Structure 1
C-alpha cells in the first residue's frame, strides 16, 4: 500500500455585511503520522456572544484532538483506534457544550449564544465526521460530490417531509433557523458518522455563509476544477463575497491521497444518515 498523504487548508472571512466574524475554523495535519482534521463552527447569539461560542467549540475540539496521538493510542489496534477517535470526538463535543452553557450561566450578556459545529478527522484511512447545526461537510471524488451531513434546520425537516423542494429551501425566509446547536441545551446531540477512505479524496467543510450562495453543483464544479485543490478555499470565499457576502464565510479543505502521484479524488461510499427528532429551534442571527 502506498503511504497516505494528508494536507489541509482553511480560511474564514467576515463577509460584506457583518460587523464581526462569529465563525471559527481550525485545521491541522500531523507531520509524523497520517492524521489530520478540520473544524468549522458558526456562532450565534448577538454581539461577541456568537464569536465566543464558536471559539470555545473550536478550541475545545482542537485541544482534544491534539492530545489524541499518545503512546496508548498508537499502540492500539486499528479497530481500537477508530473507537478511541469517535470517543474523543464525543467527549470533546460534550465538553464544548458544557463550557458554553457554563459561560452563559455566569455571563448573562451572552445568554443567547450558541454555535453550530462540523468536524472531520482522518486517521490512516478512517474518516469520522461529527456535526450539529447547519455547517456542512462534503466529499468529492471522480464519481461526483456527496454531502456527508444533513442540516439540523427547519427547512431540512420541511424538505424531508415533502413540504419544500431544495430549490425552494434555498430561497426560504427561515433557512437560517436551526434545530440543534451547541450551548442551547444541557446535552449536545451531534451526529457522528464514519467511513473508510479507499481512494483519493477531497473533503470540504464550510459554514452556511458559503452554502447560502453556492449550491452543491457550484461546489462540485470548484472542487473538480480548481487546482491546487487546497487553494479552492480562497475561491469559495471570493465567490460568496461577490454574490453578496451577507454572512461570515468559512471553508476548510482536506486532501487525502494514498497514491502520491495522484490528484485528490474521493471515495464512493454510500452515505445514509438517520435524522433524529429535534426539540429545539434556534434562529441564527
Structure 2
C-alpha cells in the first residue's frame, strides 16, 4: 500500500558571473490535488542563442507530456500500469524534444551546433522516476545521507569508470565539458531511466553542471542538511556557486518529499518555468 506523500517544489536558474546568456532552463510543477510533481533541468549548448532555444524546447515539450498524464484513466490504473505510463511519458517527451531540436537546427544554420542535456524527476505517490541525458544531475538527500542518482554521460566519467582519472581531478580536467550524450545531436537518443520507491521523507535536488563544478557531494550534502526552509536551498546553492566563480550558468531545482504523516507543507510556486552520438560534444 502506498504511503501518504506531500510534495513541494521550487527552482531557480541564474546566468552566473561570466556568461552573457543563460542557456539553462528549468521547469517545475506540483499538482494541487494529487501527489504528483516533477522537476526538469536542461543545460543548452551551441551559442547564437541556440543553447537557450534547445533547453527551452526540452522543458516545454516535457511539461506538455506530463500535463497530459494525470487523467481519470491514469487514476483508475494499477500502480504497475501507472509506472509504465509515467515511463512512457518520459521517453516520449525526450524523443519529441530531441526531434524538435533537430527540426529547429534544420530551419536555421546558426543553430547547427545546438543541443542540450536534460535531467528530470517525476514523483507519483511514493514512486520516483529519474531520467537523464548528459551531465546534469539528480540527487536524493535524507537523514541517511546524500545519494547521487545519475551518472554523467561524459568523457571524464568514462575515465573515472576506467580508473584513469580521480573524481577530484575530473573537476578541473580540460575535457570536463565534453559530454557523450545530448538531445539534438542524433535522431536516436537513449535516456537513462531509473525508478525508486520513496520510503522516507527526503529532498530531491536537480542541477546543471554550473553547480557541481564548484560544489562536491560533501558540500551539497551540507547545504541540503542544514539550510532551511528546504525549498530555499536552490537559492543558497546558486549563491555558493557564484561566490566560487560562477563561470557557467547555474540551475537548481528542489523537491521536498514528506512521507508518512499528513504534512502541512504547501507547494511553493507550484508551476514555474525559467529559461536561462557516440560523439563527444563540447559546451563552450
For the residue of structure 2 that corresponds to 1:184, the secondary structure is coil
Task: Check if 1:42 corresponds to 2:75.
Answer: no
Task: Check if 1:78 corresponds to 2:73.
Answer: no
Deviation at 1:15, TM superposition (A): 0.3
Query: Would the aligned equivalents of 2:24 and 2:250 in 1 still touch at CA under 8 Å?
Result: yes
Q: In structure 1, what is the equivalent of residue 271 of structure 2?
A: none
Q: In structure 2, what is the equivalent of residue 274 of structure 1?
A: none
Deviation at 1:141, TM superposition (A): 1.0
Q: Deviations over 1:57-90 (max 9, x none)?
A: 0100011001100111111111100110001100
Deviation at 1:196, TM superposition (A): 0.5
For the residue of structure 1 that corresponds to 2:203, the secondary structure is strand
Give distance in 2, aligned partners of 1:161 and 1:130.
Answer: 23
Query: Would the aligned equivalents of 1:129 and 1:194 in 2 still touch at CA under 8 Å?
Result: yes
Give distance in 1, aligned partners of 2:10 and 2:261.
Answer: 18
The structure-2 alpha-carbon separation of the partners of 1:72 and 1:255, relative to structure 1 and needing over 3 Å to count, comes to same
Give distance in 1, aligned partners of 2:38 and 2:3.
Answer: 21
Q: In structure 2, what is the equivalent of residue 17 of structure 1?
A: 18
For the residue of structure 1 that corresponds to 2:101, the secondary structure is helix
Q: In structure 2, what is the equivalent of residue 219 of structure 1?
A: 220
Query: Would the aligned equivalents of 2:7 and 2:258 in 1 still touch at CA under 8 Å?
Result: yes
Q: In structure 1, what is the equivalent of residue 279 of structure 2?
A: 280
Q: 1:35-184 maps to which residues of 2 (within 5 A)?
A: 35-184=36-185
Query: Would the aligned equivalents of 2:5 and 2:262 in 1 still touch at CA under 8 Å?
Result: no
For the residue of structure 2 that corresponds to 1:112, the secondary structure is coil
* TM-score (norm. length: structure 1): 0.93
Q: In structure 1, what is the equivalent of residue 191 of structure 2?
A: 190
Q: In structure 2, what is the equivalent of residue 204 of structure 1?
A: 205
Deviation at 1:2, TM superposition (A): 5.8
Deviation at 1:170, TM superposition (A): 0.9
More relative contact order in 1 or in 2 (CA 8 Å, sep 6+)? 2
For the residue of structure 2 that corresponds to 1:245, the secondary structure is coil
For the residue of structure 1 that corresponds to 2:59, the secondary structure is helix
Task: Check if 1:236 corresponds to 2:249.
Answer: no
Unaligned runs of 5+ in 2: 266-276
Task: Check if 1:29 corresponds to 2:30.
Answer: yes
Q: Deviations over 1:20-73 (max 9, x none)?
A: 000000000001000000000000001200000000001000110011001111
For the residue of structure 2 that corresponds to 1:25, the secondary structure is strand
Give distance in 2, aligned partners of 1:239 and 1:259.
Answer: 32
* TM-score (norm. length: structure 2): 0.93
Give distance in 1, aligned partners of 2:246 and 2:70.
Answer: 38
